[in-house]
A and B are shown apart, each in its own frame.
Chain A
Amino acid sequence: MGVMKVYGVARYMSVARVIVCLEEVGADYQVVPVDFAVGEHKTPAHLARNPFGLIPAFEDDDLVIFESRTISKYVLRKYKSSDTDDLLRENNLTESTLVDQWLDVEAHHYDPLVFHISYNAFVLPKIGGTGDQKLIDTNLEKLKKVLEVYEAQLSKTKYLAGNFISLADLSHFPATYYFMATPYANLFDNYPHVKAWWENLMTRPSLKKAAAGMFPVA
């Protein structure tokens, strides 16, 4: 069996999502860089791996897949061991459904807002660009409504899908990690259960390992 390959850069938020899961299962993997600056993402070789010309793409022997949440689920399903926490709960219908539900919440309600705040307020300035302040402000307003829902849920359960950690929680890591380096990080102070949930998540070794490959935030 070959070493699994992640095509992309570890600093990029959607790539970091996959790295978290690879670290969770303790798999052997390598990150193969894709150079956007020279248009490598539009080459036939990369489009064969990710037809949308995005990152990450992923290879495990003959299998080639894209979409970070799909890659994450594949890695967790195939390589989990007795040492890995059950992050998908697929032996339990209601638990796995709640994981699916909150992963969709992350993908459709949370990440579209926080990704763009983080990208505009933190990443762009790091790479010599200027963020769109109007987009940041609009997204911050919408984010408050979303965090109210999270606060209500996390007042009832320790993690989003229940009293067990799951992929739904970990999927929030990349965008939130950079968000905490923006001037808007203290927004979470208004949502104490959300803040506590985040701080607890950041004690997890897989997230610390993924963070080590990302832009420094201190």
Chain B
Amino acid sequence: MTSVTVYGAPFSPAVSRVLACLYEKDVDFKLAPVDMAKGQHKSPDFLKLQPFGQVPAFQDELATVFESRAICKYICNKYPEKGNQNLIGGRDGGLLARTSVDQWLEAEGQSFNPPSSALVFQLAFAPMFGFKQDPAAIEQNEAKLANVLDVYDRRLGESKFLAGDDFTLADLVHLPNGHILVSKKEDLFLSRKNVGRWWEEISARPSWKKVVEMQNVPQS
């Protein structure tokens, strides 16, 4: 019986980021739903797990952690021997490999995440939850994201994956928003040769396919 619990639903990009990492690492977990329609994310019990009232939260026998990228690093550090051992720079990669993963993780958080999350909200969640779309926001964020993907395209012309020769957390963190945006605006990714090649590879990973299966299960 696993002590590892992820709080939240698979359709949430930040939750699915953690699920992808758990599958890559072959770490068993259980998923605990958080009923946001009923305000469960603002309940005192949930706020003890995640003080901003957001998902995911993560708990095991040792720690309670929030912020999806920090949770992913924890899973990698806690289980160095399990599953994919290259996610944070490889066992013998040392400081330089670790630094390269850190750098592209930060690039995702600072440059890719803001415009891609804004677009995901506008294109996927606004219609789903009955909010009005904002054409100006779509246009501005698409332009910002296009500039970021141009940088990625140059990088991925020199390097197989963002941090180097191996798939790492730096690539994994892009899967949730990438998946939604490729379904809505595939040109952004697929018209750029190297980004397209990279996207096909990372989205074909068995770990991500398992997450997509979970997302496709109807939520009651």
CB proximity to A under 8 Å, residues B119-164: 148, 151, 154-155
Cβ of B214 within 8 Å of any chain A Cβ, yes or no, is no
Cβ of B206 within 8 Å of any chain A Cβ, yes or no, is no
> Once the chains bind, are A65 and B103 in contact (CB under 8 Å)?
yes
> Once the chains bind, are B103 and A104 in contact (CB under 8 Å)?
no
Chain A residues within an 8 Å CB radius of B175: none
Chain A residues within an 8 Å CB radius of B96: 63
Q: How far is the CB of B100 from chain A (nearest CB, A)?
A: 8
A69 to B148, CA, bound (A): 19
Cβ of A190 within 8 Å of any chain B Cβ, yes or no, is no
A77 to B109, CA, bound (A): 21
- The size bracket of the interface on A is 20 to 34
Q: What total of A-B pairs shows CB separation below 8 Å?
A: 76
> Once the chains bind, are B65 and A97 in contact (CB under 8 Å)?
yes
> Once the chains bind, are B51 and A69 in contact (CB under 8 Å)?
no
> Once the chains bind, are B95 and A101 in contact (CB under 8 Å)?
no
Cβ of B106 within 8 Å of any chain A Cβ, yes or no, is yes
Cβ of B111 within 8 Å of any chain A Cβ, yes or no, is yes
A153 to B64, CA, bound (A): 14
A68 to B206, CA, bound (A): 33
Q: Which residue of A lies closest to B75 (CB)?
A: A97
Neighbour of B107 across the interface among A63, A67, A146, CB < 8 A: A67
> B interface vs A, CB < 8 Å?
51-52, 62-63, 65-67, 69-70, 73-74, 77-78, 95-96, 99-100, 102-103, 105-107, 109-111, 113-114, 148, 151, 154-155
* 15 further contact pairs, Cβ within 8 A, besides A52-B111, A105-B67, A153-B51: A51-B154, A51-B155, A70-B105, A73-B99, A77-B95, A93-B77, A93-B78, A100-B70, A101-B65, A103-B70, A108-B113, A112-B114, A146-B52, A149-B51, A152-B51
